[in-house]
Each structure stands twice: as structure tokens, then as C-alpha cells.
Structure 1
Amino acid sequence: MNRPDPIPVSVLTGFLGSGKTTLLNRLLKDPDLRDTAVIINEFGDVGIDHLLVEQSSDGVIELSDGCLCCTVRGELVDTLADLVDRLHTGRIKALGRVIVETTGLADPAPVLHAIMGHPVLVQNYRLDGVITAVDAVNGDATLNAHEEAVKQVAVADRIVLTKTDLIDPASPEFARFTSRLMHLNPGAPQLSSNDDEAKAVALFDCGLYDPATKTADVSRWLRDEAYRHDHDHVHDVNRHDARIRAFTLTEDKPIEPDALEMFVDLLRSSQSDKLLRMKGIVGLADDPDRPVVLHGVQSIFHPPVRLAGWPDDDRRTRLVVITRDLEEAFVARLFAAFTGTPQIDTPDLQAMESNPLSIPGFKP
């Protein structure tokens, strides 16, 4: 008996007042989202958000015991496990997708950890992507005032601009704002909630596998070209933005499996709070024709996936890295220490390879 495909889970986040509930209401009416379960988080002792979300059959589940990123993490795991049990026992006829809506104050990372790191859930669910709603009217001020909002943008796979009907899309202010979002997250397409392009077909199915072909679409998933091209632009960033860096590491030759494991383990064990997200495709020396796909959020990594082959002619290792308060040069030096390909001039590369702790700037 073939194991069913893992159920895609999308995380819908965005700061307070960003329009998440309005967006969710509209999405639930989309026929492409039939058989979708929605887990709605509420912050505080008295639940009110569920009164604003239109019930879509029995698929709306309310979490009202606290912030999803802290006190109800166990409940989230239990809820996701219960959904699978209901599906397997026939209490739910179909479950095509799960959407987790976080509170506006939430750091989305713990939600991603619950999906990617739980040994049972990872067998039944796959992270499809992070959708971040951003208020086009007040978003610039929100990013200036709240670091949480900056982080929500930085880890997004899709950015949805809400309230765009209240601004002039041709204004210089709006152009600067969208440029700012692109700097924070070059790989995330920006969509307007008022346009047809923001329908479910554009917001979801942004994971590694193309649901139409059932094959890996690495270029669509990584969008690593956008991260490299972003370095060519000059940005006017504030203090929050300056803490975020998004870049790509590349390597032409296959990497020894042990070297890759040590690089990832050292990076996440020593810099997990600064490693917002990392995803990529890696060619390994033990089987260079079958690359490995990596995806991590801070210290939690999804079990590596070995592809049947390279999805296209590009056989380079490509790792997209998003950090906070962690210099690109430091990560590049660490990567070079294990791959044996120096990316900077150093008088003592051999010592650095044998002892990563000697890398300038490394503080365990």
C-alpha cells in the first residue's frame, strides 16, 4: 500500500492590523481551497478573532489558550496529529491542506519548528510555505517600530500587500516601500490582495514539489537568482532592516557528506538564533547524480530529502540563507572551511579547515 502524500501546511502571518483575517476570509471562498483545515490562533484569554472568520464547514479550529508561538505549541502539535487521526479513521472525508494563522505578535519560527521537527508530523505533513500579509498603508511605519514585523517579512515565501486600494501604487513612497520589502526578502514575490494574482493558486503550492507534475522544482522553490541580483542594488535601510541579510552560497564540485553535516551542525548549534532560514540543493560526493534537499529554520531542519536526480542542467550546490545579526562573510568563511573552496583570502586556510573555531568572528 502506497503511503499518501504529505499534507501541505501553509503558515499565514503578518503584524497586527495587516489584514490577515480579511485575506483568509476571501481565500476560504476559493474553490481551490476546498478540503482545507484552518487553525486560527488567538492571543489572550478571550477569543474574538474567530468571530471575524467565516466558518468554512468544520475545518476551522480555534486555539484560544494563548500565543501560538509559546503557550499553545503543544496544542498545535496535538491539533495537527488529531487532524491526521480524523482523516485516517474517516471522521474527515478529505484533507487537502492546512493553514495555520498566527497572531500578529508571533514569531513564525516556532510554528515552523512544530511542523518540520516533530517525528510524527513530518511523516504526514510538509511545509508548503510562509505567507506574510503586509499593510501597504502602515507597513513602512510598522517595520520601523517592530522587529517582529521585519522577521515575518524576511522568512516569507509570499508577501501579500493588503489595503492597496487606499494608496497610490504609482507614488514614490510606495515604490520605496516595495523596494524595502524586496531588500528584506528578495526571493518572495509581492502580490496585492486586491488583484486576481493573489488567489490561492499564486499563494500556495510554493514548496519544493510542483503539485501539477509531482516533481521537484528547485528553481521555483529557491529563487536563488533573486538573492544574488539583490546585491546589485543600493538600499536605504533602517536599523531593523540592516540586521537582516539574505544571500546564496554556491559550490561547483560535490561536497563530502560529513563536511556538509559538520557545516550545518556547527552553524545551527552556534548561531541558531541568528539563522532565520536556510534552504537549498546540495550535490554530495557519495552520489553526485542524486542531490540532497535541505530546509531549516533556526536550529530545526527537515529530514534531508534525496532527489532521484538533478531537476535541470544546473548541478551546483546552492544554499539560500537568511540571517539576522550574522554577517554573510562569516557564513561564507564557515562554508569554505568545510568545502575546501576558499571564498576569501586568508593566510591560514588549512588551520581554518581543521579547526572551524579559528574562523575570524566565530564565537560559539
Structure 2
Amino acid sequence: MDTIDERIPVTLLTGFLGAGKTTLLNHLINDPEAGRIAVIMNEFGAAGLDHDLIEASTEETILMQSGCLCCTFRGDIAKTLGKLMARKQNGELSFDRIVIETTGIAEPAPIVHTLVVDQLMPHYYRMDGIVTVADAATGASTLETQVEAVNQLALADLIVVTKTDLVSDADLASYEAQVNTINNSAQRIYANHGKVPTGALFGLSALREDVATDDIEAWLGKAEKPQTHDHHGDDHHHHDGQHGQGHHHQEHQIRSASIEVPEPIPASVFDFWLDMLIAIKGPDLLRIKGIVHVEGMDWPFVFHGVQHIFDAPVPLKSWTGKDTTSRVVVIARNMSQDDLDASLNMLRMKPKEVETATDGMVLETVEMPF
């Protein structure tokens, strides 16, 4: 019998300065349907809290009438999360999930790493998703000059587009095309003056044993035309629709690609592909995620990594589908489209090809569940 994951889900809310995180958070905090959420932010005042809706407050926390709890952190996010969990276990606080708001110029990756590699965090918390707020009015120019804004989009599970009422349909379409070049696998919704359906922000990650097939497809994005084995051509060919996830962002060299492999992948082949990719391009791997069927396993697993740091892979032991297609999405920086596609095509190799390729090589193995 599968055990129930009782860890607290954590949502990372990011987005560049002025994108609308404050407005979104304010609606979330004041929404009774949001439930018992602990919102971690740098400053209380930044969220524009309605003091008429404050139930109780201390120097470090504010309890809203909606049931949401707000707290500040100035430094180590792991210590803040540790204190919250200690107070929850002592019965001082009650919350069911956490939302962490980053500063507008923050890189999301370090917080994701903390939840994965900190000694205590993975026991009590799990990453539920990365939500990036994207400003349709000024976002295009921001992406041209601010690499942090690009990285915030690249890591997103969900992109919330704001201020669409301030731009023309043509400008909105142009901006969305620009966003697609960075991350075409993320789900996308549109805020109505900062309001979004509360539930849309949660349950984004597929890293859970009870995940449904539809949730995995949403997490990995659409793949009507996945990458094919017979890849040819230069960068200008990657805009013609023959590569479902192949995109090119010239200014910051962000590219993404996906692949589908119909038959189960030998474990040695998957290990070789992942080891090689991390060894060669580790710091530039903005995100890797996928569902993989491995030869000899009765069920597939989902995996996820940011740069060289990976969450514990989750075996889908309740899997009943007969489809054995593996699907992997990679978003990388400073990697040519040809190299990225060629890397993914390693997943089609045979074990003997791997033996030949690894002869005399020493690689650091990434532990996977097989």
C-alpha cells in the first residue's frame, strides 16, 4: 500500500519588479477559499495588507481573517521554514501549504535547491510548483535587458500574464511569442486585475505518486509535434514547427527541446545521458523534467532537476496505462539547438553504444530509482 505524502507543499511565487506579484498575493491572502496558507515574504508592507482583515499579529507573523498566515524572512529561507515547522508541530501555528514570494530581481534556483538539498527540508516540505508573474506591458523590454527575468520564466510551471488590458492584441501576441522562446512547456493563465482562480496556483508539480496522466501532460506541456530522430538543419529551421519544444531566444541563448521515446529506455542509457548532460552543461541546465519508462520496471517514474540538483524521482506505482512512451523536456542556456537535440537523441541509444561511448570515461552517477 502506498504511503500518503504528508509533507507541506511549497509554491514559489516569482516575477520581475512591477510584474504584479504584490497584487496577486494580496488577493490570495484575502481569499477565504485559499485555506490555511503560510505566505513568506520579505516585508509585510510590500503585500499591501488590508489591516481591517488582520486577525492577530506579532513582530514576525500576521494572521488574516481568511486563515492565511504571513511571515517575513530576512536571510536564510531554510531557517524560516524550520521555525514555521517547529511552531506548527508545537501547535502554535496551523497551515496546510506555503507560498514563498521572491524579490523581483531574485533567481528562483537557490530556493529550489534549498528544498532539495537541505538536511531537513525534504522531510517536511515538497516543491509544489513555480509560479512566475509576467508583465505584458513592460515584459518585452525587461526580457531584453534583465537575465533574472528570463530565468524566472524558464523555471516556471505556471506563467500568470498580467496587465493584458494595457496592451494591444498585437503587442500581447508578440510578447507571448517571446515568452514561448524561453519556456513553452509552462501552463499559462491571465490575471484579471491581479485576480486568478486560487486553485490554479497549486498542484502544479507531477512529482507525486498519485499524479494523474492529465497532470503529467500539463506539467510537461503540449507536444503535438515532438522532436524526431532525423534532425537536420541550422537554427533557422527550428521555427518551422518540426520541433515541438525547440525554441531560440537570441539575447540570452535560452533554448528548449523535448523528445518522445516510444519504447522503454535501458537504465544504462538513461544514466549515461543524464550523467553526460550534467557533467558538460550542469550550471546551464535551467530545467529538466520528464516521465521515463525504464526497461525491466513495472511502472514509470517522473523526475525533475534545476541545474545539477535533482528532486528525488517519484515512481508511479499505481500506473495502469499501457503506453510506454517516455517524454523529457530540457531548457538550457548557452547550448546550441543542435547540441541540445543531439543530447536528447542519446536516449535512443542502445546499451552497446553506451559501452563504446563510455569506454575509459569516469562519470559521477546520478542516483535514480532502478
TM-score, normalised to structure 1, is 0.80
SS of 2:223's equivalent in the other structure is helix
Equivalent-residue separation in structure 1 for 2:21 and 2:225 (angstroms): 27
Equivalent-residue separation in structure 1 for 2:165 and 2:63 (angstroms): 27
SS of 2:269's equivalent in the other structure is helix
Whether 1:354 and 2:358 are equivalent positions in the alignment is: yes
Counterpart AA for 1:91 = E
Shift of 1:255: 2.3
Deviations 1:154-179 (A, max 9, x none): 111111122223233x3x12211112
Deviations 1:79-112 (A, max 9, x none): 112222222221223x211111111111111111
SS of 2:107's equivalent in the other structure is coil
Counterpart AA for 1:304 = P
Equivalent-residue separation in structure 2 for 1:209 and 1:277 (angstroms): 14
Whether 1:284 and 2:294 are equivalent positions in the alignment is: yes
Within 5 A, what are the aligned runs for 1:1-364? 5-41=6-42, 49-50=45-46, 52-54=48-50, 55-57=62-64, 59-64=69-74, 72=75, 75-93=76-94, 95-168=95-168, 170=169, 172-194=170-192, 198-208=196-206, 215=212, 217-225=215-223, 228=226, 232-233=240-241, 239-240=250-251, 243-287=253-297, 289-310=298-319, 312-337=321-346, 339-340=348-349, 353-355=357-359
Deviations 1:166-223 (A, max 9, x none): 233x3x1221111221232112233221179822112221111689x76563222222
| Contact 1:6 1:125 (C-alpha < 8 Å) held by counterparts | yes
Question: Identity across aligned pairs (percent)?
Answer: 32
Q: Which runs of 5+ in 2 are unaligned?
A: 51-61, 228-237, 362-370
**Structure-2 change in CA distance of 1:307 and 1:264 (3 Å):** same
Bigger Cα displacement from structure 2, 129-138 vs 116-125: 116-125
**Structure-2 change in CA distance of 1:161 and 1:277 (3 Å):** same
SS of 2:17's equivalent in the other structure is coil
Equivalent-residue separation in structure 2 for 1:82 and 1:113 (angstroms): 19
| Contact 2:107 2:148 (C-alpha < 8 Å) held by counterparts | yes
**Structure-2 change in CA distance of 1:188 and 1:4 (3 Å):** closer
Shift of 1:237: 6.8
| Contact 2:9 2:127 (C-alpha < 8 Å) held by counterparts | yes
Equivalent-residue separation in structure 1 for 2:146 and 2:224 (angstroms): 26
Deviations 1:265-323 (A, max 9, x none): 33223312110011111111231x21121111101100111111436443211111111
Give the count of matched residue pairs. Answer: 332
TM-score, normalised to structure 2, is 0.79
Equivalent-residue separation in structure 1 for 2:355 and 2:267 (angstroms): 20
Equivalent-residue separation in structure 2 for 1:22 and 1:356 (angstroms): 56
Counterpart AA for 1:31 = P
| Contact 1:244 1:323 (C-alpha < 8 Å) held by counterparts | yes
Counterpart AA for 1:20 = K
| Contact 1:153 1:184 (C-alpha < 8 Å) held by counterparts | yes
Equivalent-residue separation in structure 1 for 2:225 and 2:118 (angstroms): 30
**Structure-2 change in CA distance of 1:334 and 1:167 (3 Å):** closer
Shift of 1:341: 5.3
**Structure-2 change in CA distance of 1:92 and 1:208 (3 Å):** same
Q: Which residue of 2 is the match for residue 361 of structure 1? A: none
Deviations 1:317-363 (A, max 9, x none): 11111111123432443444465259xxxxxx678633597xxxxxx
SS of 1:225's equivalent in the other structure is coil
Counterpart AA for 1:273 = P
| Contact 2:44 2:72 (C-alpha < 8 Å) held by counterparts | no
Equivalent-residue separation in structure 2 for 1:277 and 1:92 (angstroms): 34
Equivalent-residue separation in structure 2 for 1:247 and 1:307 (angstroms): 24
SS of 1:183's equivalent in the other structure is helix
| Contact 1:334 1:356 (C-alpha < 8 Å) held by counterparts | no
Deviations 1:116-142 (A, max 9, x none): 222421122221111111111111111
Equivalent-residue separation in structure 1 for 2:93 and 2:260 (angstroms): 44
Q: Which runs of 5+ in 1 are unaligned?
A: 42-46, 65-71, 343-348, 358-364
| Contact 2:285 2:307 (C-alpha < 8 Å) held by counterparts | yes
Cα RMSD (Å) of the superposition? 3.3
